[in-house]
């Protein structure tokens, strides 16, 4: 009898435990539908693709069961917002189609870049075209590095993209000869980086400040808006002097070497070792490297002629003229106005030359001179009435650049990128 009683108690206890276990199991939550570009994706078939060479807007929609009369109506309806003839190969797009048997396209999303897209909605009788911009988070970052070879290689080793390197080169183009950077020179840059969804790189923003340590000197650059009416910020050093000068130091940004200087007594073995004046400065660089105007002015010559090969000549004012020889090809025409830093041609070997380079010639009052020895005019310093505000503005930025605080070192004595929100 006792055995039966124990067995009954055990069975009741086990049954009770099973009921408790069932009560503890929560029902599975229904997964929420993903929403993109304002559409609930569960309501459509989602097709993501990239525009191929030779494909047009019409070809793509026709493939997804939209008839050409409707395609023409769509193109006409949205032309004020989006020109469908300008879709480009390589650009990604998304199509939302109906889930019924027709699987007809109802929405076309053209992605201009990581941030911007155009959405064409033609599922109803009224066609809608809207611009879509993803939310972008801007983060302030700082990076420090030590030159082991050149700026480009160093920046690349830190995981930075080339457009940031070019921006730095633009800022320092008037004050720093990148060819003369030495192993052990260092820099620190405070800049903005943009992100989508906190993790996807979406480009760079402003470079707020920077410093290069070169030949024992600190070369500062601070971005400052001195004239709120014109609304263009410039870069100044710690004394309030503008970094931008009237002339750049070189007609090539930074990947070059000076292979031959201005020399009126140069002797050339090719011509029997007789003295033949060299009235230019040769900047050797890779074939097809862009050549830039060292100052703004009007193109007065653009031609192919004898030993000069392809060349461009620019008149800047009544005092100064510059000339650029041996181009592979020219980009500008006579009479065209070019701005400082504009690409006017590409490095080549046309005319009398033994290797790819640009011979840079410089005239002052009609006489060729050595630009590396000339004391060239600089841009105006910051106005004295604004200077107190400028000094107050740069004080925390200079403190940040001078700070010894740094992240743990990386291989090759490179410093980590430090990000701050």
Helix (H) or strand (E) segment spanning residue 69: helix 68-78
Do 202 and 192 form a contact (C-beta atoms < 8 A)? Answer: no
Helical residues (DSSP H) of 140-185, grouped into ranges = 151-157, 162-171
Tokens standing for 79? 């032309």
CA distance 17 to 4: 20
Place of tokens 């070497």: 257
Q: Which residues touch 62 (CB under 8 Å, ≥6 apart)?
A: 68, 71
Q: Which of 59-63, 68-72, 293-297 has the lowest mean pLDDT?
A: 293-297
Do 196 and 139 form a contact (C-beta atoms < 8 A)? Answer: no
Is residue 175 located within the same domain as residue 238? Answer: yes
Q: What pLDDT sits at residue 270?
A: 52
pLDDT in tens, 206-252: 999 999 998 888 999 999 998 766 668 889 999 998 887 778 888 99
24: pLDDT strictly greater than 60: no
Parallel, antiparallel, or unpaired: how do β-strands 136-146 and 45-50 relate? unpaired
Is residue 180 located within the same domain as residue 225? Answer: yes
Is residue 387 located within the same domain as residue 241? Answer: yes
pLDDT in tens, 108-132: 999 998 889 999 999 998 999 999 9
Q: What pLDDT sits at residue 232?
A: 81
Residue 27: inside a domain, yes or no? Answer: no
Q: What pLDDT sits at residue 375?
A: 76
Is residue 145 located within the same domain as residue 112? Answer: no
Residue 318: inside a domain, yes or no? Answer: yes
Do 82 and 118 form a contact (C-beta atoms < 8 A)? Answer: yes
Report the DSSP beta bridge partners of residue 118. 110, 131
CA distance 92 to 117: 10
Longest CA span, the chain: 130
Residue 30: inside a domain, yes or no? Answer: no
CATH number of residue 43's parent domain = 3.10.450.350
Residue 12: inside a domain, yes or no? Answer: no
Residue 18: inside a domain, yes or no? Answer: no
Nearest CA to 140 among 403, 418, 399, 401? 418
CA distance 190 to 396: 12
Tokens standing for 326? 């041996």
pLDDT in tens, 272-317: 556 567 788 899 999 999 999 998 888 999 999 999 999 999 998 8
Report the DSSP beta bridge partners of residue 35. 40
Is residue 324 located within the same domain as residue 303? Answer: yes
21: pLDDT strictly greater than 80: no
37: pLDDT strictly greater than 90: no
Domain ends where: 84, 100, 133?
133
CA distance 128 to 125: 10
Q: Which domain holds residue 226?
A: 137-245+382-420
More confident residue, 347 or 178: 347
**Model pTM?**
0.61
Q: What pLDDT sits at residue 419?
A: 37
Give the chain's end-to-end CA distance (angstroms, integer): 77
Is residue 265 located within the same domain as residue 363? Answer: yes
103: pLDDT strictly greater than 90: yes
- What is the average per-residue pLDDT within 343-348? 96
Domain ends where: 133, 153, 186?
133
Is residue 276 located within the same domain as residue 365? Answer: yes
pLDDT in tens, 156-186: 999 999 999 989 988 887 778 777 788 899 9
Helix (H) or strand (E) segment spanning residue 57: helix 57-63
Q: Please report which confidence band the pLDDT of residue 411 belongs to, taking 50, 70 and 90 as the band edges.
A: very low
Is residue 114 located within the same domain as residue 146? Answer: no
Is residue 80 located within the same domain as residue 155? Answer: no
Is residue 268 located within the same domain as residue 299? Answer: yes
CATH number of residue 292's parent domain = 2.70.70.10
More confident residue, 206 or 19: 206
- What is the average per-residue pLDDT within 201-205? 90
14-23, 57-66, 335-344, range with greatest mean pLDDT: 57-66
Domain ends where: 107, 133, 159?
133
Q: Buried b vs exposed e over 25-45: b needs ≥16 C-beta within 10 Å? A: eeeeeeeeeeeebebeeeebb
Residue 124: inside a domain, yes or no? Answer: yes
Tokens standing for 345? 């041609």
Domain count of the fold of the chain: 3
Instruction: For the chain, give the mean pLDDT.
Output: 84
Place of tokens 């302030």: 140
409: pLDDT strictly greater than 70: no
Is residue 65 located within the same domain as residue 116? Answer: yes
Residue 23: inside a domain, yes or no? Answer: no
Is residue 46 located within the same domain as residue 128? Answer: yes
Residue 183: inside a domain, yes or no? Answer: yes
């Amino acid at each position: 009898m006792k055995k039966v009683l124990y067995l009954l108690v055990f069975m009741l206890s086990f049954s009770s435990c099973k009921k408790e276990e069932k009560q503890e199991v929560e029902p599975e939550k229904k997964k929420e539908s993903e929403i993109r570009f304002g559409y609930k994706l569960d309501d459509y078939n989602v097709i993501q693709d990239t525009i191929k060479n030779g494909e047009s807007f019409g070809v793509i929609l026709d493939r997804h069961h939209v008839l050409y009369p409707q395609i023409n109506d769509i193109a006409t309806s949205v032309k004020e917002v989006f020109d469908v003839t300008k879709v480009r190969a390589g650009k990604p797009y998304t199509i939302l189609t109906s889930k019924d048997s027709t699987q007809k396209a109802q929405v076309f999303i053209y992605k201009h870049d990581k941030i911007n897209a155009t959405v064409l909605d033609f599922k109803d009788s009224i066609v809608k075209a809207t611009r879509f911009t993803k939310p972008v988070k801007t983060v302030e970052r700082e990076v420090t590095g030590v030159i082991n070879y050149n700026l480009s290689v160093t920046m690349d080793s830190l995981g930075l993209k080339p457009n940031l390197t070019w921006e730095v080169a633009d800022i320092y183009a008037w004050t720093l000869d990148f060819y003369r950077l030495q192993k052990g020179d260092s820099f620190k840059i405070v800049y903005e980086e943009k992100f989508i969804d906190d993790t996807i790189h979406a480009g760079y923003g402003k470079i707020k400040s920077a410093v290069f340590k070169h030949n024992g000197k600190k070369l500062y650059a601070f971005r400052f808006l001195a004239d709120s009416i014109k609304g263009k910020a410039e870069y100044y050093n710690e004394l309030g002097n503008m970094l931008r000068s009237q002339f750049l130091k070189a007609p090539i940004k930074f990947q070059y070497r000076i292979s031959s200087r201005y020399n009126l007594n140069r002797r050339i073995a090719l011509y029997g070792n007789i003295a033949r004046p060299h009235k230019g400065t040769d900047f050797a660089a890779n074939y097809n490297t862009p050549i830039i105007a060292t100052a703004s002015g009007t193109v007065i010559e653009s031609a192919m002629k004898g030993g000069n090969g392809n060349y461009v000549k620019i008149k800047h004012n009544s005092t100064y003229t510059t000339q650029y020889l041996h181009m592979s090809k020219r980009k500008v025409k006579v009479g065209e106005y070019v701005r400082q830093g504009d690409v006017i041609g590409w490095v080549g070997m046309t005319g009398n030359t033994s290797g790819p380079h640009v011979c840079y010639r410089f005239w002052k009052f009609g006489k060729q001179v050595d630009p590396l020895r000339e004391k060239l005019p600089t841009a105006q310093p910051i106005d004295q009435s604004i200077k107190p505000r400028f000094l107050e503005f740069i004080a925390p930025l200079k403190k940040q650049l001078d700070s010894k605080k740094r992240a743990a070192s990386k291989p090759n004595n490179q410093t980590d990128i430090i990000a701050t929100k």
